[in-house]
């Protein structure tokens, strides 16, 4: 990641360092992962991404084309969800590798206390 690191505020002189590292992470995701658009909320808003579920099909629906399209949407949803889970594991591993030692200690404490 070309020297990009997530550091605590008191570890770095460059005040834009955090955002530069976030941008580099976004570029990495865009280049290396499948369905990178599904990961946008992770790098822009630092929110865990979710794939919207397809709307339920009416039980009374009999149009074969409508049913086929719905089945395809469900299939795509399942595929994107599988890729999202894999991509999140990859992204979290990359993010962990980008954390400074002090940041890692702080993250570990936050997780340990359940925040």
Per-residue pLDDT averaged across 14-29, rounded? 88
pTM for the whole thing?
A: 0.80
Residues in the chain: 115
In the structure, what pLDDT confidence band is assigned to residue 114 with cuts at 50, 70 and 90?
Answer: low
Q: Which residue has the tokens 């955002």?
A: 19
pLDDT tens profile 56-104: 999 999 999 999 999 999 999 999 999 999 999 999 999 999 998 888 8
Tokens at residue 61, please? 């629906």
Closest CA to 18 of 108, 113, 103, 110: 103
pLDDT in tens, 24-34: 999 999 999 99
Q: Where are the domains of the chain?
A: 9-112
């Amino acid at each position: 990641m070309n020297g990009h690191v997530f550091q605590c505020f008191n570890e770095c002189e460059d005040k834009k360092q955090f955002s530069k590292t976030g941008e580099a992470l976004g570029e990495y995701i865009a280049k290396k992962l499948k369905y990178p658009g599904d990961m946008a909320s992770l790098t822009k808003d630092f929110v865990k991404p979710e794939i919207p579920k397809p709307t339920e099909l009416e039980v009374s629906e009999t149009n074969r084309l409508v049913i086929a399209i719905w089945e395809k949407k469900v299939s795509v949803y399942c595929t994107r969800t599988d890729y999202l889970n894999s991509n999140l594991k990859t992204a979290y591993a990359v993010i962990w590798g980008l954390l400074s030692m002090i940041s890692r200690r702080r993250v570990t404490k936050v997780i340990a206390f359940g925040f």
